[in-house]
Amino acid sequence: MSDQGLFIVLSAPSGAGKSSICRRLLAACPEIEFSVSYTSRKPRPNEINGKDYHFISREDFQRRIDQGEFIEWIENYGHFYGTSGKAMHEVLGRGKDLLLDIEPRGAKEIKKKFEDGIFVFVLPPSLDELLKRLEKRGHESPEVIKKRFTQAERELKEVMWYDYTVFNEDLETAAKQLIAIYHAEKCKTNRLSSKIDRFFKLC
């Protein structure tokens, strides 16, 4: 293996607290870059174009699908979401590490294409707690909350093929666990083979 960066794919049903855990990982490990997905949905208050997502029109998204720009893409609640293959290769090629916040269908596509990604699933403490958290967010209608909860129940079953599971019972502990996973993966011998080669050549 080369000096390419590694990537972590983090999935969780909405309401599991994934965004807060992501923020903590990125703050603790500034060498990790966040993969900014493309989406055709409209920005929510406080979301910044180019930082949270690249917000584009459906037509633009469709054109990019046709041009093969996405390494994976999905349609969710009538909106498109996708990861740019070029952007991902560019970051990893620079030797930087990358965090992708994507749902299980897209994560599975990526797992088929790359063998050495790190796949982490974040679970809420319980289904009851998940529903409470969805209701508390306050920016969505009961109908959307119900849809999100049904989808969450479906997505939760995907946990079994992920490499790691983090229960978000307490945000600080969950973030620490994710940071520990990252550091342990960085020390895997096969990821360090180039460095180990250089070490012996200099002896």
Could you please report the per-residue DSSP string of 5-32?
--EEEEE--TTS-HHHHHHHHHHH-TTE
- Using rule CB under 6 A, residue 41 touches ligand 5GP: yes
- Using rule CB under 6 A, residue 40 touches ligand 5GP: no
Residue type, 173: T
Given a contact cutoff of 8 angstroms between Cβ atoms, the answer to whether 119 and 13 are in contact is: no
Residue type, 56: I
Q: What is the 3-state secondary structure (H, E, C) of 99-163?
A: EEECCHHHHHHHHHHCCCCEEEEEECCCHHHHHHHHHHCCCCCHHHHHHHHHHHHHHHHHHHHCC
Considering only the stretches 87-95, 102-110, 121-129, 169-177, report the one whose residues sit in contact with ligand 5GP under the rule CB under 6 A: 102-110
Considering only the stretches 73-81, 86-94, 138-146, 185-193, report the one whose residues sit in contact with ligand 5GP under the rule CB under 6 A: 73-81
- What minimum distance in Å lies between the beta carbon of 81 and ligand 5GP? 4
- Using rule CB under 6 A, residue 194 touches ligand 5GP: no
Nearer to ligand 5GP, 5 or 15 (CB): 15
- Using rule CB under 6 A, residue 111 touches ligand 5GP: no
Give the interface with ligand 5GP as residue ranges (CB under 6 A): 14, 37, 41, 72, 74, 76, 81-83, 101-103, 105-106
